[in-house]
């Protein structure tokens, strides 16, 4: 399976690219925005495409069209303004969804954020525009014709161990954190799992291994 990792130079994207490259089942390609980011992917043997999510839907679609699956892990990051949140987390995500749909790249996994459907939570947050962007990008994907899965992790940590997780079908009681490594491992686990198609999964640390948690949330 040829997998395009959008936002591959982010922390989840780097972990996922390395995991995909180590598997004989997948041929990952990194979608990155700067030429100087290529060195890491050369080192792990993953080809890279340098392009911007601020480009047109046509340009992004032409990048996506030759793949079997898209994993969208891109984000504007905490050091940019909310203009970039709109451009990347919302508009960039929607252009990727439309590009995949146009070119019949059916499998699409979106890394979103816990509480993206909870307007009451947004009002308590200092990053309300971020949640609004995630909400509407997710909504566009969920109304598409793609075989989508939306992962909504809580606050991310850099713990190297995957650990155990909790997954919910809808907003509920979660722990406060989850390692990025666990999100990347979940993507690897569900990539070809048809039981996860059409699912929105809220996730945090918990008491189940990933395979068990996926089975529970998809039953």
Q: What is the pLDDT of residues 48-68, one digit of tens each?
A: 999 999 999 999 999 999 999
The three state secondary structure string of the chain is: CEEEEECCCCHHHHHHHHHHHHCCCCEEEEEECCHHHHHHHHHCCCCEEECCCCCCHHHHHHHHCCCCEEEECCCCCCCCCHHHHHHHHHHHHHHHHHHHHHCCCCEEEEECCCCCCCHHHHCCCCCHHHHHHHHHHHHHHHCCCCEEEEEEECEEECCCCCCCEEEECCCCCCCCEEEHHHHHHHHHHHCCCHHHCCEEEEEEECCECHHHHHHHHCC
Mean predicted lDDT score pLDDT of the chain:
95
User: Is 130 known to be catalytic?
Assistant: yes
pLDDT at 78 > cutoff 80: no
User: What local confidence, expressed as pLDDT, does residue 125 receive?
Assistant: 87
From the candidates 130, 131, 136, 197, give the one annotated as an active-site residue.
Answer: 130
Express each pLDDT in 159-200 by its tens digit: 999 999 999 998 888 999 999 999 999 999 999 999 999 999
């Amino acid at each position: 399976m040829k997998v395009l990792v959008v936002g591959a130079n982010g922390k989840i994207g780097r972990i996922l690219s390395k995991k995909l490259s180590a598997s004989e089942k997948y041929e990952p390609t990194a979608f990155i925005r700067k030429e100087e980011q290529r060195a890491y992917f050369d080192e792990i043997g993953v080809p890279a495409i340098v392009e911007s999510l601020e480009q047109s839907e046509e340009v992004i679609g032409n990048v996506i069209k030759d793949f079997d699956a898209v994993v969208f892990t891109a984000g504007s990051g905490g050091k940019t303004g909310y203009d970039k949140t709109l451009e990347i987390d919302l508009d960039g995500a929607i252009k990727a969804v439309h590009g995949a749909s146009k070119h019949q790249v059916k499998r699409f996994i979106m890394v979103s954020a816990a509480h993206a459907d909870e307007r009451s939570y947004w009002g308590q947050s200092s990053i309300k525009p971020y949640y609004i962007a995630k909400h509407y990008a997710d909504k566009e994907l969920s109304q598409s014709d793609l075989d989508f899965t939306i992962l909504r992790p809580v606050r991310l940590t850099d713990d190297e161990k995957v650990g155990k997780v909790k997954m919910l079908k809808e907003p509920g009681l979660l722990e406060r954190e989850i390692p990025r490594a666990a999100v990347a491992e979940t993507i690897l686990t569900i990539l070809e799992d048809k039981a996860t198609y059409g699912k929105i999964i809220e996730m945090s640390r918990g008491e189940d291994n990933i395979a068990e948690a996926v089975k529970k949330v998809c039953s």
